[in-house]
Structure 1
Amino acid sequence: MKKKLSAFFALLLVASMVLAACGGKKEEDKTANEGEKPAQEAPAKKQVLNLLETSEIPSLDTTLATDSVSFRVMNNVFEGLYRLDQNNEPTPGMAESYEVSEDGKVYTFKLRDAKWSNGEPVTANDFVFAWRKALDPNTGAEYAYIMYDIKNAEEVNTGKVPVDQLGVKAIDEKTLQVELKNPIPYFLSLLTFPTFYPQNEKFVKEQGDKYGLEANTTIYNGPFVLSEWKHEQSFQLKKNEQYWDAQTVKLETINFNIVKDVATGVNLYETNKADRVGLSAEFVDKYKSDKNFKTKSEPVLFFIRMNQKNEVLKNVNARKAIAMGFDKEAMVATILNNGSKAANYLVPEGFVKGPNGKDFREENGDLLKFNAEEAKKYWEQAKKELGKDKITLELLNYDNDSAKKIGEFFKEQLETNLPGLTINIKQQPFKQKLDLENKMQYELSFAVWGPDYQDPMTFIDMFVTNGAHNQTGWSNAEYDKLVKDAKTTLLSDLQARWDAMVKAEKILLDEAVIAPVYQRGSAYLEREYVKGIVDHPFGPDNSYKWAYIE
């Protein structure tokens, strides 16, 4: 996600999330709107929101999706046991209440009376089916690891035990029981992530390989349904009249045009065909005094992946040279100009604080800064070790407007600062680019990762040996142990767990496994009559359940 709630949410948040820690207590959950901003009565104005998306939706199969575009749509057309509310707290979705055992390991959820968009009831088996499917090794779900807190999840996913041994079962149609390996105080937050959404077994099997690939080969249980999907052009959401909380949903229609060029998007906004548009550098100065101009900082990291199956990129000096060989400050100032920050790290600034009260970035500071002179030294050493004087590498890139400019910037900077290097750029549509990365069919790749949950681990465990999102071929036993300990033996010692993650980040960047580029900032225009869009700092980016046109 984003590319991209792992099983290990911020333990430092435990004190504020002890919802699950009261053994044997039955929790009659809050209504969906308790503690949230009160929804204003929407006037008679037509409830149609017109938005832009930069890429095609790769998939609406919750067990297979890994990207921010899919997650954004899923968050609005599906619903799990819980969803994030307007304050980014878990609020009841398909679950109406739950009980937790004395030892904190067994959750029993009572489901509300809810329906799929085809009128069939949402049942406990819909969750059992979907979760087993996600963990079935034959599915090949990249996000399967996110469920590893469930009893036998890892064993099922690695083929050691059959799927029916997974610690989840339907007691009856409206009662779901989930057994965990260890008590997890943040379990309700974990359940808001798309991989934990339900699927209707009968419908999915009827659709076969077509499930999740067309509007009419998918059914929905969220606030909206995907009513129209013109691939690579547009898609449309309509209010789901079958949704259990339909009275809260004000919008009738959300239209999305897929627009990869910023200038085209701005033109659509100016001609009243779009209500919100992101701005690139050349448009920020033009619109920064506009009453509808807005900015926000996000804990989203852009970086360059380096495939160590490549002979050159297996060399640590070559990787360090590339990571230090381009001027990030100049790039964010000239190409982006939208509040983005040059990044010399993996875990974003301002994302999360540790038990000691320090932001994660205060711990390690800057680790891979631009330094043309040092980069050249590393590069000369790498060429000597490789026995090469001329080297050509291919950069896999997105095909949208800003990514094209960034790719050209990398090429110019790296070819200038690293003598003998030639960079060829391969631009691909979003879905195809993800596929090439997954198959390790690339050399350098401009990539992005947004947090799935509010903890450093959502970035750090990406790079464990053979991790689903590692996609670099890198392996380090000490790194793997630090991550494993932070997920198991250190769960009861928050500071030691924090220190382990700090050390892991340093190892990763000392070896220049990736080349950090920038932390995303966003500048955008939004019509004054658009109200109530909820932007989430982790998990899927947006919720439209509470949005309306004033």
Structure 2
Amino acid sequence: MALTLIFSLFLAACSGGKDEAKDPKPEGNDGTKTEKPAEPQVLNLTEVAELPSLDVSKAEDAASFQVLNNVMEGLYRLDKTDKPVPGVAESHEVSEDGKVYTFKIRKDAKWSNGDPVTAKDFVYSYHRTLNKDSAGSYQYIMGDIKNVNKIINPEDPMYGKVEELGVVAKDDHTLEITLENAVPYFVGLTSFATFYPQNQKFVESQGDKYALEANTLVYNGPFVLSEWKHEESWKMVKNDQYWDKDSVKLDEINVNVVKDVGTDLNLYNTNQNDLVGLSSEYVDQYKDNADFKTETEATMWYLKMNQKNPVFKNVNVRKAFSQAIDKESMVKVILNNGSVAANYLVPANFTNIDGEDFRAKYKDGFHAFDAAKAKSDWEAGLKELKKDKVEVEFLVGDTESSIKLATYIAAQLEKSLPGLKVTLNPQPFKNRLDLENKGQYDFELAGWGPDYQDSMTFLDMFVTDGGHNRMEYSNKKYDDLIKSAKTDLSDLKKRWENLQEAERILLEEDAAIAPLYQRGRALLVKPYVKDVFKHGFGADYSYKWAYIEGKQ
């Protein structure tokens, strides 16, 4: 089973001349055809939360993106090495200036209801996502496309004018996308859920019910969602309309919502579940088990401090929070799963330039654990606030592991910062996202996995009024550095330095968030599960090429 995280920097061809990418391997991502094994092709999995949204215009979380990656397909998708390989598009060409991409839509691409997938489905989907009435927070990820940032800016004369978007269906099988600037990651970005097509006729026929149930969504990926029992389970089955169905060996994927690790482990040990993530108390017990695996991820966890609360408007308070937690003990004792204590936002071993990792300049990050310094900054903050006591609410998930981690963090904060009282507010995943998006929290335990392989995927979240800012952080110098890194790729080394400086401002000067750890995972995986591909960015797993073999 391919569960190792791959850290390979991919570049779309945008350095000049025409570059055409054709699919030389129609039978799969590695060019080999494996006969379907005789045993039942059924994969059984669990998730800790309900799916918040399967509307590609509104989805914003890892759980939703995971399902969408397997029931839908964009122009390209990621293979086992995180290289973008043709999906709905069979090939593409790039203009000499690297700004105009022409994608050829394959003629055998179909929706699960039999309708053809056309270039117009992409135009409609992008327009719908960027509509000024859209509730989605992921509009910004399309910002590389011409006019997007104007279309989504309420202060711009072009606001809401989606017809000005740089995306045109030249005919049913030719999609032209014009970018504001040449970027090194655009082809890979088309594999992300926000860039998937939508069937206009079907969407409009469903009205307000669209994407709320398994039968109010139409699919174009390797699988279709056949059942969705909210808060309980969902089922994916093989899509017989999928253009590359011969590469899909699994007939069925069953996913049950299980919040308790002990229950999940019991399901695994009784062969009702094929994969289980282990919390700290089970790692030592199972680390010598033949099924035991570990994986390092480019996913970061941190405290998100809402400056809407006057307490967190104070920079000394934020610096105190950043330095008050013993992260080394946290990852070794509370997590115990291979996670690494982190004082940074952009992960280690995620991106590099000329062989140098992004972390090289500020390897140790900023505001490491220092109880004495945390107390000093806290006292300075309280003095400025004219307070001697502070009570704040801590928004966290409602799973067993989330509450355990949050309890440790709260205890550390109260221990290091005299006069602080922290009250936990555990919420189901969907509720937590809603409270965050509305800015109705004091501080939050938040995580972020990369959407594409560039440091920008972590850093552009925190620009003023950004879709994932939602904590009223604003710094003009930070905004300018991010804007420069987005628009000027003439000097990649300078761009790199601008992004490093932006991270320093965010974490050292402003302490806008308090990094905690870079996530690792300890898990048990049944040996008969083959070729589930773990991705370093975007959705976590692809099941297109997975199969079951050797199950007793």
Matches within 5 A, 1:79-118: 79-112=73-106, 113-118=108-113
Alignment match, 1:364: 362
Which segment is superposed worse, 408-417 or 256-265?
408-417
Q: Indicate which of 107, 124, 143 corresponds to 1:129.
A: 124
Q: Aligned to 1:19, what secondary structure does the other structure show? A: coil
Aligned-partner residue type, residue 354 of structure 1 = I
Which residue identity is paired with 1:19? A
Corresponding residue number in structure 1 for 2:471: 472
Q: Is the 8 A contact 2:12 2:188 kept in 1?
A: no
Aligned equivalents of 2:429 and 2:12: distance in 1?
39
- Runs (4+) of structure 1 exceeding 4 A deviation are 24-27, 32-35
For the residue of structure 2 that corresponds to 1:96, the secondary structure is strand
| Distance of 2:334 and 2:492 partners within structure 1 | 40
Q: What is the Cα deviation at residue 358 of structure 1?
A: 2.0
Q: 1:519 to 1:39 in 2, by over 3 A?
A: farther
> How many residues are paired up?
536
The separation in 2 between residues aligned to 1:546 and 1:169, in whole angstroms, is 32
Q: Give the unaligned 5+ runs of structure 2.
A: 1-6
Structure 2 counterparts to residues 30-429 of structure 1, below 5 A: 30-32=24-26, 36=30, 38-112=32-106, 113-158=108-153, 160-161=157-158, 162-355=161-354, 357-366=355-364, 367-429=366-428
The answer (yes or no) to whether the contact 1:42–1:250 under 8 Å persists in 2 is yes
Q: Whole-Å Cα distance in 2 between the matches of residues 334 and 179 of structure 1?
A: 50
Q: How far off its partner does 1:170 sit?
A: 1.6
User: How well do the aligned residues superpose, as a CA RMSD in angstroms?
Assistant: 1.7
The farther-off stretch of 95-104 and 224-233 is 95-104
Shift of the alpha carbon at 1:104?
2.9
Amino acid at match of 1:502: Q
Report the Cα distance in structure 2 between the residues aligned to 1:88 and 1:28, rounded to whole angstroms. Answer: 17
Match of 1:7 in 2: none
CA contact (8 A) 1:376 1:418 kept: yes
The 8 Å contact of residues 36 and 87 in structure 1, kept in 2 or not, is answered as no
What's the CA shift string for 1:430-457, capped at 9, x where partnerless?
0110111111100010000011111111
Instruction: Rate the CA distance shift 1:414–1:25 in 2: closer, same or farther, 3 A.
Output: closer
Asked if the contact 2:89/2:104 (under 8 Å) is kept, the reply is yes
Counterpart Cα distance in 2 of 1:506 and 1:211: 42
Deviations 1:50-84 (A, max 9, x none): 00111111001111111000000000000011100
Q: What is the CA deviation profile of residues 450-477 of structure 1, one whole-angstrom value per residue up to 9, with x for unaligned ones?
A: 1111111111111111111112211111
State how far apart, in whole Å, the 1-side matches of 2:40 and 2:399 are: 32
Consecutive unaligned residues of structure 1, counting only runs of 5 or more, are: 1-9
Q: Are 1:31 and 1:91, in contact at CA under 8 Å, matched by a contact in 2?
A: no
Contact 2:261 2:279 (8 Å CA) reproduced: yes
Does the aligned pair in 2 maintain the 1:317–1:382 contact within 8 Å?
yes
Identity of aligned residues (%): 55
Deviation (angstroms), 1:183: 2.9
- 3-state SS, counterpart of residue 138 of structure 2: helix
How far residue 281 of structure 1 moved from its aligned partner, in angstroms, is 0.7
Aligned-partner SS, 1:312: helix
Is residue 25–residue 100 contact of structure 1 (8 Å, CA) maintained in 2?
Answer: yes
Assess if the C-alpha contact under 8 Å between 1:171 and 1:177 holds in 2.
yes
- State the partner residue of 2:4: none
Cα shift at 1:390 = 1.3
TM-score by length of 2: 0.94
How many Å separate the matches in 2 of 1:418 and 1:316?
15
| Amino acid corresponding to residue 364 of structure 1 in structure 2 | Y
Q: 1:310 to 1:37 in 2, by over 3 A?
A: farther
TM-score by length of 1: 0.95
Shift of 1:182: 2.4
Q: Give the Cα separation in 1 of the matches to 2:12 and 2:442.
A: 45
Residues 1:39 and 1:341: Cα distance change in structure 2 (over 3 Å) = farther
